[in-house]
Structure 1
Amino acid sequence: MSSEPPVDPQDVRAAQIDRVRIEDEMEQSYIDYAMSVIAGRALPDVRDGLKPVHRRILYAMHEMGVTSNTSHRKSSSVVGETMGDYHPHGDQAIYDTLVNMAQEFSMRYPLVDGQGNFGSMDGDPAAAPRYTEARMADIAEELLADIEKDTVDFSANYDDRLTEPDVLPAAYPNLLVNGSTGIAVGMSTKVPPHNLGEVIDATIELIDDPDATVADLMEHVKGPDFPTGANIVGRNSVRKAYTTGRGRVRVRAEMDIEEFGNDRQRIVVTELPYQENKARIVERIANDVNEGLIEGVSDLRDESDREGVRVVIELKRGANVDVVKNQLLEHHLESTFGVINLALVDGQPKVLTLKETLEHYIDHRKEVVTRRSQFDLDEAEARAHILEGRLTALENVESVVETIRESEDRDAAKTALRNAYDFSEEQAEHIVRMQLGSLTSMEAAEIEDEYEDVQATIERLNEILDSEQELLDVIKDELREIKDKYDDERRTGFVEDTGSVTHEDLIPEEESVVVLSEDDYIKRMPAADFRAQNRGGKGIIGTDLKEGDRVSSVFVASTHDYLLCFTDKGRVYQLKTYQVPEMGRTARGKSAVNVLDLDDDEELTAVVNTDDLTGDEYLTMVTEGGYVKRTAGDEFDNILSTGIRAISLEEGDALADVQVTDGDRHLVIGTRDGMAIRFDEDEVRAMGRTARGVRGINLEGDDRVAGLAAIDEEHHNWVLTVTEHGYGKRTDLDQYRKQSRNGKGLIDIKTNDRNGPVCALETVTYGDHLFAMSAEGQIMRTRVEDISTIGRNTMGVTVMDLDEGDTVAAVDVLTAERVSGERTADDAASTDGDDADEEGEAADDAE
């Protein structure tokens, strides 16, 4: 009897459990998920330009035999076959992709030939898959050509029943020809379509001259060629997209001016920018006409049909057609296509230039043609081997027949033939199966001719495999054949970026200072009216306030800038700087209701220049109560005249500051009592506009957040802190120890009755100019390098000399880049500025 204690089942189960850190498991699981989406769902392969779902649909149609020369099949049949064998991610996703490949306004060269309702440019959805039919388009078959000749690798499908191609042979550079759009995890791709002939010419150019530059290739590839036509504005943006892999291409509708009736004109839109919804554009134009934003329009109608787009805008008698046309372009008929040439290269996402894209395609075709040639060579040599045996048999036909007749059975006959004539197993097998009719002299002549042809084929295939130049010549010849078969004229033209005279053109582009008071008076003044003076000066008068009114906001912007104006209530408005009335320094301004539709108790707290925003950047906001959030910049593309919600606020909280960030910044939140906390931006996940955010700093007592600085560690930036009593300082980022968000932070600046609470935090660098405005209307402009760089636990130095009872109301920074571009304004500067300089020189450096 054993003396060992019985095994506890719980101990057995415990031994089967691995202990892991939740952080490590979440990180690895998320990375695995992200890579699965990136490589398996959302991004195209640089070699064939297809995402997996596109590739699987085409391969399923190929396996079904639904090619361009067969009858159409129900779309539901194609979808079901694709989902059942290759893509188990839902029939709707597959059908949406199939529809997209059949839409002539979506694909420059549609890969699917559809019958039935496949949607429209008005955003109408396609009919259900049971009502539509599809088959492969001619040009799609070129992507699959020679796939049965071991030209590409195959992998097991999702249930290991079948195999599917990892990539298609792709007889033309489909990534550039048809483009691609996809959103993965943390990245996205947006490759515009191009003209097939131009891309093929550029590919041949690069084959002939591997040292060709992007500029050389652009001699062939003029720019994107959209299926909806329209015009690209200027060529610099295209050049940037091709040389860097990223760019923003402006696309403008094609319009004609027609005369009709009694001295009247109409604007006829015949081509629209790519991926724009025609019905929505017409609706927006109609709304602007009804609201009086577009004047001079008498009628608007959509006369589009299957032949093309035709939107008619009839003008009133005497209306200025150029003004209306420019208004339409500014708001409705011009859009921006953001190029992100991101594709999978060896399974890894990479942003590619035009040259790199074509180089990877050429490498792919070299491998395809090499593998195809080797496959054909193996088959040709096998056939030549059989023909050699047949020719030998024909030369000895009587003895061969006699040998076969004398053999007991077929196996004995094969053995006898192999012994007598040194035939291989394959040759002997073929000979014993020959029919007597093949022994005629005519049949023998045909075999000899075929043998000569096969030998010539073998010789040619060996040449291709032995010489890279021969291989490249084959690739070029096949590309030329594709071009001859499918090439067509460009649809998208180019227009110079000369523009037309508009109201905006009549406004000189210059840096301006915009002032808003608590009683909602607003105005702008040229920034050049304020000369930079030494710190510690009183500044000069910036506005004439009525009794009891005080300055609430000041910001610096170019007259042509589009601005996002954030208020303490968490709303955001869009403003063109020149829309603010320009007035002199001693003027009061005009009512802000004519410019911004603010509530009575709503004040601006931050202004962001939309020119700074790209699809990869964020608006990072902080509230007075210490909450912080990031929202993608593209969520602020369409802002109503009445504003939109930018952040949800708790009762008693208010938006304190907003900064543009790129995901890699260091955030420093400063409070009115002089505390500051630094943490990495990625500690705050991206959220929607209506989210509240997460805790950024843990405030003590009745302390409130004063501002936010977003620092780029690669550049020499400082955190600039300014207090209400006119004190300030610059501090290096490394003075702020990095912490996790929601901490109490460190002392940033000593605040007391002398320097007062903190009113602003800014990010500054060499060459920036600081504009500080007092509540009583004085404006002080100074160079930031004149403000001392000192440590955290100090009071700062005098930045602005304030009168008794006055305080700093707001500050803003004019960046060094914009300072250098500012117009010379010695004449514009007043003598008050000279007096202020003298006062500034006497300022003390108290700490």
Structure 2
Amino acid sequence: MSRELAGHIEETRLAEALSERYIAYAMSTIMSRSLPDVRDGLKPVHRRLLYAMQQLRLDPTSGFKKCARVVGDVIGKFHPHGDTAVYDTLVRLAQEFAVRYPLVEGQGNFGSIDGDGAAAMRYTEARLTTVATALLDGLEDDAVDFQPTYDNQDEEPVVLPGAFPNLLANGAAGIAVGMATSIPPHNAGEICRAARHLVDNPQASTAALLDFMRGPDFPTGGIIVEDRESIENAYETGRGSFRIRARWAVEQGRFGTWIIVVTEIPYQVQKSRLIEQIAELMEQKKLPLLADVRDESTTDIRLVLEPRSKGCEPEVLMELLFRSTALESKFSLNMNVLDRDRVPSVMGLRSVLQAWLDHRHEVLVRRSTHRLAAVERRLEILDGFLAVFLNLDEVIRIIRESDEPKPALMEAFALTDIQAEAVLNMRLRSLRRLEEIEIRRERDKLMTEKDALTALLGSERRRWTRIGKELDETEKKFGEGALGKRRTDIAPPPRMVDISSAFETEREPLTVLLSREGWVRAIRGHGLDLDAQKFKEGDAPQLAAECQSVDRLILFTGGGRAFTLKAADLPRGRGFGQPVRVLADLPPDDTVIVMFPLVADGKRLLVTSGGKGMVVRESDLVAEKRTGKQVLNVREGDDAAFCIPANGTHILILGDNRRAVIFPVEQVPEMTRGMGVTLQKYAQGGVRDVRAFNLDEGLEWPVGAKLRSPADLAGWLGKRADAGKAAPMWMTRKRVDSSQPPEK
């Protein structure tokens, strides 16, 4: 057969061959490397490492063994990969600053939060922690299935029994092909309380579960600054992010001086790299309020930040650092895991907890069934002992005289094969201890256990009650003391801090011009003649805003996004300026419809061309990133048409159908983001114009025209979402060109 195949060439299209091999690689990466199992929260390398350490009897009460020995067993028996990858995994499971509940107890140098690496595996030693033994508890009781190892020489568990909620407690991170996972660590005691609530209330909502499990609990502490709504939405969908800030405090010195001391930094931020980042920004003069940074850490973190002047506010200095450095970071939530059928899926909090509880239920059934079988075997043997107890002399005679004592014993005393084998295997010195009282005491105890196991296996309610008790025990064991105490606080989003005082910018009046071709520049002074300004050939002024050099400008686009520019950063001089798309990442098909200086307590009325609108605070339009902030969600075929000051008591909206309606501004909800509500109904067409004004003062329409009194406007008073009434001629005149005078 081999001679016939020698030299055989089979033609295959390159695309098909690549596709087949890439799919195989992708599946291997997803199933066997990157995604954790929802039941025990482990990837194969973690599971094999813990199992190998258990086989080496490295329990918490035993001595340590060299990590080189552990790694050798793992790669030799279970995990045919490089020793570096396995050792790196072992090291991480032992680092208290990387893992919320370490699964490995290390002895030696296992690295530091500064980013220092661990010592070589020949110098370090390790053993399992109590948390790891809880994950492994039940392997000997047929709690889970086993599968052959890669060389078919041994067996390994498909999944661990998982009495500890490892997936949520320690989190997970991994990048596969076309998908990734990112799960933050949580507090084990809170997880157990949430799971217990889910056992008692199977239909519990995510919001109810979050009353028990408040959010991530990172090993390095810190403060999560997110509102309840965003946290709930993240756990409901399985996707989101959490903003983490360092923990800091002010220490007062002599003569009114003070320093800021940082005692906790965000998760997965290297302290040494953080200090380097701060030092680099100081050298680049981007932290004008900071004079010095010192690392006074020992076993605990202590970063000292010294201000340049005692007159500045600590909150302003820290806000500047939060915006510029890793003292504030984001941790993504993407609960992409393998379910019990080994299918990857993104799960919400409730699904993850239910999957773990279902696994614990299956483990309980299998362990109880295994124990019941063992009890029944022992009872069978004890019944055999009782059968021969009063006839020991006859038993001895049969054994001495019979060539085949086993069949003879079975016939003489009506014993089963197992009972006869047990009698024959009994040592002679055990005969003196074979007392009927002791045998009956053990038999009665086992019968009681058998009845309890039978009742447990026959009642699902009893099994879930048992699981609830196990959760209480786990919470008591791992949710108390120094290990179980919550380390990360959760606080609402902080108020916006104005850091403009941190930068020494000379205050002067500016007029910012934005041309139709998208070029922006700042010109000194107010009250400029726009027609006298020079633009590129074919270009013309579109928008203008009068402001101060210390102001921030809001650019609002037809796509409903808001962008923020600092007036001091805009190009000046005699040139044409700079493309606005260089300063802000505007989408290619989006255009700026309005530009105005930020007023801290100001409000804006946002209206789409289709007649939907909402009121938003100008502070909520501020975007810290170049990519801007999506504020008004617009449907396909619709766009943002107006962004006007929401000053006044009433709103007048005029449609393309020449119908108008006036209603109180209170009927328009104030939102931070959304699609808005219907302001005026249209059979066809959309909004032509909209104004906000004080009804008592009347309305000047258009600018410079006759002032219309409240009596003139009374006929169009109505409610929001009305179709309106036919507008008068003075209201339907063509509006003045949108390149209106600068907005102040």
TM-score by length of 1: 0.64
Q: How do residues 19-58 of structure 1 correspond to structure 2 at under 5 angstroms?
A: 19-58=11-50
**Matched AA of 2:331:** F
Q: How do residues 731-742 of structure 1 correspond to structure 2 at under 5 angstroms?
A: none
Shift of 1:197: 0.5
Structure 2 partner of 1:343: 337
| Deviation digits for residues 487-542 of structure 1 (CA, Å, limit 9, x no counterpart) | 12111112221325314799xxxxx99727999862499xxxxxxxxxxxxxx997
Q: Is the 8 A contact 2:553 2:566 kept in 1?
A: no
Cα distance in structure 1, aligned partners of 2:57 and 2:554: 57
Shift of 1:200: 0.6
Q: Is the 8 A contact 2:67 2:122 kept in 1?
A: yes
Cα distance in structure 1, aligned partners of 2:542 and 2:173: 41
Q: Of residues 165, 186, 211 in structure 1, which corresponds to 2:178?
A: 186
Query: Are the structure 2 counterparts of residues 405 and 38 from structure 1 closer, same or farther at C-alpha, using a change threshold of 3 Å?
Result: same
Cα distance in structure 2, aligned partners of 1:28 and 1:293: 52
Structure 1 partner of 2:600: none
| Deviation digits for residues 540-565 of structure 1 (CA, Å, limit 9, x no counterpart) | 997853376875998999968899xx
| Deviation digits for residues 546-600 of structure 1 (CA, Å, limit 9, x no counterpart) | 376875998999968899xxxxxxxxxxx97231359xxxxxx85289xxxxx99
Q: Is the 8 A contact 1:552 1:603 kept in 2?
A: no
Shift of 1:399: 2.7
| Deviation digits for residues 131-170 of structure 1 (CA, Å, limit 9, x no counterpart) | 2211111111111111122111111222222221111110
Q: How do residues 142-541 of structure 1 correspond to structure 2 at under 5 angstroms?
A: 142-234=134-226, 235-306=228-299, 308-315=300-307, 316-332=309-325, 333-345=327-339, 346-407=341-402, 409=403, 412-440=404-432, 443-487=435-479, 488-503=484-499, 515=514, 522-523=521-522
Cα distance in structure 2, aligned partners of 1:250 and 1:366: 35
Query: Are the structure 2 counterparts of residues 518 and 360 from structure 1 closer, same or farther at C-alpha, using a change threshold of 3 Å?
Result: closer
Cα distance in structure 1, aligned partners of 2:329 and 2:95: 21
Query: Are the structure 2 counterparts of residues 832 and 590 from structure 1 closer, same or farther at C-alpha, using a change threshold of 3 Å?
Result: farther
Cα distance in structure 2, aligned partners of 1:55 and 1:393: 48
Cα distance in structure 1, aligned partners of 2:472 and 2:493: 34
Cα distance in structure 2, aligned partners of 1:164 and 1:257: 54
Structure 1 partner of 2:606: none
Shift of 1:63: 1.3
Gaps of 5+ in 1: 1-8, 507-511, 526-539, 564-574, 583-588, 594-598, 613-618, 621-714, 718-764, 772-782, 787-814, 842-847
Q: Secondary structure at the match of 2:61?
A: coil
Cα distance in structure 1, aligned partners of 2:387 and 2:674: 89
The question of 1:578 aligning with 2:577 is answered no
**Matched AA of 1:545:** Q
Cα distance in structure 2, aligned partners of 1:336 and 1:499: 18
Shift of 1:221: 0.3
Query: Are the structure 2 counterparts of residues 300 and 58 from structure 1 closer, same or farther at C-alpha, using a change threshold of 3 Å?
Result: same
Shift of 1:13: 6.6
Q: Is the 8 A contact 1:232 1:494 kept in 2?
A: yes
Structure 2 partner of 1:766: 638
Cα distance in structure 1, aligned partners of 2:158 and 2:576: 62
Shift of 1:116: 1.6
Structure 2 partner of 1:810: none
Q: Is the 8 A contact 2:518 2:580 kept in 1?
A: no
Cα distance in structure 2, aligned partners of 1:562 and 1:100: 46
Structure 2 partner of 1:95: 87
Cα distance in structure 2, aligned partners of 1:770 and 1:398: 107
Cα distance in structure 1, aligned partners of 2:166 and 2:216: 13
Cα distance in structure 2, aligned partners of 1:164 and 1:21: 39
Query: Are the structure 2 counterparts of residues 35 and 837 from structure 1 closer, same or farther at C-alpha, using a change threshold of 3 Å?
Result: farther
Shift of 1:601: 11
Q: Percent identity?
A: 38
**Matched AA of 1:494:** I
542-551 vs 321-330, which deviates more? 542-551
Query: Are the structure 2 counterparts of residues 141 and 81 from structure 1 closer, same or farther at C-alpha, using a change threshold of 3 Å?
Result: same
Cα distance in structure 1, aligned partners of 2:185 and 2:701: 52
The question of 1:80 aligning with 2:103 is answered no
Cα distance in structure 1, aligned partners of 2:531 and 2:432: 112
Structure 2 partner of 1:697: none
Query: Are the structure 2 counterparts of residues 450 and 41 from structure 1 closer, same or farther at C-alpha, using a change threshold of 3 Å?
Result: same
Query: Are the structure 2 counterparts of residues 503 and 317 from structure 1 closer, same or farther at C-alpha, using a change threshold of 3 Å?
Result: closer
Cα distance in structure 1, aligned partners of 2:734 and 2:50: 74
Shift of 1:419: 0.6
Q: Is the 8 A contact 1:109 1:139 kept in 2?
A: yes
Q: Is the 8 A contact 1:552 1:604 kept in 2?
A: no
Shift of 1:769: 4.1
Cα distance in structure 2, aligned partners of 1:562 and 1:770: 12
Query: Are the structure 2 counterparts of residues 400 and 495 from structure 1 closer, same or farther at C-alpha, using a change threshold of 3 Å?
Result: same
Cα distance in structure 1, aligned partners of 2:555 and 2:197: 42
**Matched AA of 2:410:** R
**Matched AA of 2:567:** V
Q: Is the 8 A contact 2:523 2:573 kept in 1?
A: no
How many residues align? The count is: 600
Shift of 1:436: 3.8
Q: How do residues 645-656 of structure 1 correspond to structure 2 at under 5 angstroms?
A: none
Query: Are the structure 2 counterparts of residues 817 and 209 from structure 1 closer, same or farther at C-alpha, using a change threshold of 3 Å?
Result: closer
Q: Is the 8 A contact 2:406 2:424 kept in 1?
A: yes
Query: Are the structure 2 counterparts of residues 431 and 592 from structure 1 closer, same or farther at C-alpha, using a change threshold of 3 Å?
Result: farther
| Deviation digits for residues 290-339 of structure 1 (CA, Å, limit 9, x no counterpart) | 33322333331011121x21111122332322211221222222111111
Q: Is the 8 A contact 1:522 1:580 kept in 2?
A: no
Gaps of 5+ in 2: 503-510, 546-550, 557-561, 590-633, 644-652, 657-672, 680-686, 694-699, 706-730, 739-744
**Matched AA of 2:372:** L
Shift of 1:454: 1.5
**Matched AA of 1:259:** Q
TM-score by length of 2: 0.72
Query: Are the structure 2 counterparts of residues 840 and 485 from structure 1 closer, same or farther at C-alpha, using a change threshold of 3 Å?
Result: closer
Cα distance in structure 2, aligned partners of 1:819 and 1:548: 41
Cα distance in structure 2, aligned partners of 1:607 and 1:43: 39
Cα distance in structure 1, aligned partners of 2:240 and 2:158: 30
Query: Are the structure 2 counterparts of residues 541 and 424 from structure 1 closer, same or farther at C-alpha, using a change threshold of 3 Å?
Result: farther
| Deviation digits for residues 91-147 of structure 1 (CA, Å, limit 9, x no counterpart) | 111111111111111111011101122112221122222222111111111111111
Query: Are the structure 2 counterparts of residues 393 and 832 from structure 1 closer, same or farther at C-alpha, using a change threshold of 3 Å?
Result: farther
Shift of 1:832: 10
Q: Of residues 523, 533, 546 in structure 2, which corresponds to 1:545?
A: 533
RMSD: 4.2
